Amino acid sequence: MRIAVGQFASTEDWQTNLKTCMTLVDDAVEGGADLLVLPEDSLALFIDEPHRIAEAAQPLDGPFVTGLLEHTAGTRTTVVVGIHEPAGDGKVYNTLAAIRDGGIVAVYRKVHLYDAFGARESDRVRPGDGEPVVFDCAGWQVGLMTCYDVRFPEMARLLVDAGAQVLAVPAAWVRGPAKERHWEVMVTARALENTCYVAASGECGRRNIGSSMVVDPLGIVRDRLADRPGLLWAVADREELDEARRKLPVLANRRFRVDPSIRPREETA
């Protein structure tokens, strides 16, 4: 499977961001990508006024996603993109949509909300139900995670238990002391401990680090971007995946299952 990962600096204007996403889609389609992973917050990013996320949110049948659906019609590239979606109670969902040939093939709503390093995503965002989301792309099984989810190894393991061979991880990883190191370690660890590919897209710009990358099943970074907009490429190879799982049979050797039940938020506050 040919993978493209796009990163860009999202703005407050969804129409500008849609045009940027369309350009990245065009480049990915032209390059023969089976999968294109775009960042979290691709719809709109409010750096100084995060409360505006709710007013900017759009449903899955809103103009941003509809524009991407129309733009992908007649193509075979699956596009994973992040938006904020109204939750119906004044809050929003942090949502990933997987889009192919004019249709939505999968939807994931972020489970682990970024209540860390002084931030309070849960003040504005409602968590999803935690059901692992895995979909088929060019004969490969792709699992969906968003940003802060990558800090929770059980999330990735649940997706791999559900059949995922590739993890798509859109993100908007905030800058801070050692934060870029955290990102690299977590993305690499999720690939290595599950012997799977990880395609991680980071929003870049004034607030976030970018640093998109693709990591192979033995933890090797195949390609990465720095802090500027761009598109990177990698290939997921079936024989390479199988060989990695023969050499490092951690999935076969493990002794513990992951309990898929969701803990109430009051237990984790």
**Residues carrying an active site annotation:** 40, 110, 147
- Alpha helices, DSSP H only, in the chain? 14-30, 53-56, 63-72, 153-161, 179-194, 238-247, 250-253, 265-268
Separation of alpha carbons 69 and 127, rounded Å: 25
Q: CA-to-CA distance for 100 and 19, rounded, in angstroms? A: 17
The Cα angle at residue 125 between residues 110 and 58, in degrees rounded to 5: 85
Residue keyed to tokens 């849960």: 122
Total residue count of the chain as it appears in this document: 269
Question: Residue 66 corresponds to which amino acid?
Answer: T
